[in-house]
Chains A and B, each alone.
Chain A
Amino acid sequence: MNSQNHQNELQCGQFEAMLADALDGTLTAAGRQAFDAHAQSCSVCAPMLAEAHQGLRWLKTLEELEPPKNLVHNILAATSMAEVRSPAETAARARNTGVRHLLAGLLHSRFAASFSMAFFSLTLTLTVAGVRISDLANAVTHPGSLRKAIVLQYTQVESSMVKYYENMRLVYEVESRVKALRKATAQPEEKERDKSKDKNNPNDTSGNPQRHDDYSLEQGESILAWSIVTPEGAKP
């Protein structure tokens, strides 16, 4: 009779509160009886019990896993390093970690390829321009000498350019002189050759063809005259 009353008193909220203990098997006998009675009579709580029970069964299928064999070793290695490290070193490590995180993004394969290409191009350009990395390093470490180094470099490049230009001018001058000398020596020979030809055949003018500059002019004028004289209506 007492248990009958207990069954009647059990509400859904109480049933839910007892659910975990019921599945653990830790309910009292009276509590268990009331719990079972409610589960049989309540259409909401019965599926709840079934699902919770099923969920528990699924969870119990999960076996304990064996940790990796090197785990203990790694932990001990990591903690022994932590032991040796002083607070200052720990702070420095934290800073390094931040820098490493930043670099990790920059050292992505795409960026790394771009950086290497840019570096290669820069190195090549500097090498061609005659700039040495050691000079740049000195300039960076001593900012005052940076301007001096740039002026020196500019002067060197300018002087080499001027030298090159002067050399080219000399070459062209020599070349033109040589040509003029050749021409000067060749002209008297040609004149003598022409004179000897004229003496042999005075009527032969094939070697000295007559130019007919006026012919083309006359023809042009006649065409112009024709177009002026001919009226518009006379055209076919």
Chain B
Amino acid sequence: MEDQQTGALVRKCLTGDSRAWEEIVRLHQRRIYNLCYRFTGSPDNAQDLTQDVFIRVYRTLASYDVEKGAFTTWLTTLTRNLLVDHFRRSRQDRVTDSMDAGLREEDDSLSLSDRLEDHGPSPDDRLASKETQKMVQAALARLSPDLREAVILRDLQDMDYREIAQTLNVPEGTVKSRINRGRMELARLLSRNKRQVSSQ
């Protein structure tokens, strides 16, 4: 339904309707921003990349074939390509131990074990806390880009396996395998940190 709506907006936009373009931006900016943020872990980079994505969309909108596939998949593919480019550019400058840095920033409040152990607030409250989200985001940043993009598209963007396979240009079996490995690696990273902090 959303894609049909976007398809109509794209057609209007191609005829020069600026309101249609504004509507497309409003419909999709949140999803693209979140995708960029979860992949880069930086609000500034996410904002810049989201802008870049829409600028590129605007320039290449004529190349989008409504009959060929969903607009969301096309947009996600374009975003993913920009994210990969950004990752390659910034690979040397990347702080691979961002998780440790993130944890050090929070040393003043509670230790990691305090946050992960079953005491204090209820599990649901703890899971929803911002600190937990920071830890998970930091762990996500430590995953390899292949695994990271797969789990983000599946678990955070709620895309189905077929769409993810189209976006990443790999078979569905590979997508599922990457998602499984991404989830397992994330759990291992978080539990390893928990053990390290507990042993200190």
Contact = CB atoms under 8 A, between A and B. Distances in A.
Interface of A: 16-17, 19-21, 23, 48, 51-68, 71-72, 74-76, 78-80, 82-83
Contacts of B180: 16, 19-20, 48, 52
B39 interface: no
Contacts, number: 113
A55 B133 contact: no
Contacts of B11: none
Interface in B72-130: 127-128
B69 interface: no
B19 to A, nearest CB: 11
Dominant secondary structure of chain B at its interface with chain A:
helix
Contacts of B40: none
Contacts of A53: 183
Q: Tell me the dominant secondary structure on chain A's binding face.
A: helix
B139 A71 contact: no
Given A51-B184, A58-B187, A67 B136 contact: no
A65 B37 contact: yes
B68 interface: no
Given A75-B51, A76-B22, 13 more contacts: A16-B177, A21-B176, A52-B187, A58-B187, A60-B155, A64-B34, A65-B33, A71-B33, A75-B54, A79-B21, A82-B58, A82-B59, A83-B58
Contacts of A79: 21, 25, 54-55, 58
B182 to A, nearest CB: 7
B184 A52 contact: yes
Contacts of A82: 55, 58-59
A30 B26 CA distance: 44
Contacts of A76: 21-22, 25
B34 to A, nearest CB: 6
Contacts of A66: 30
Contacts of A51: 183-184, 187-188
Nearest to B137: A62
Contact of A58 (B58, B161, B190): B190
A120 B15 CA distance: 56
Contacts of B33: 65, 67-68, 71
B183 A59 contact: yes
Nearest to A48: B184
Contacts of B177: 16-17
A78 B51 contact: yes
Contacts of A71: 29, 33, 47, 50-51
A72 B26 contact: yes
Size category, B interface:
35 or more
Interface string B160-195: 010000000000010011011011111110110000
A23 B161 CA distance: 13
Nearest to B136: A58
Contact of B186 (A16, A23, A59, A74): A59
B156 interface: yes
Contact of A67 (B29, B38, B187): B29
A62 B54 contact: no
A78 B22 CA distance: 12
B45 interface: no
8 contacts: A16-B177, A17-B176, A55-B187, A58-B190, A64-B34, A64-B156, A67-B34, A75-B54
Contacts of A78: 51, 54-55
A83 B17 CA distance: 12
Nearest to B183: A55
Contact of A75 (B25, B156, B183, B191): B25
| Residue in A23, A52, A53 whose Cβ sees the most chain B Cβ within 10 Å | A52
A74 B49 CA distance: 12
Given A62-B133, A64-B30, A55 B186 contact: yes
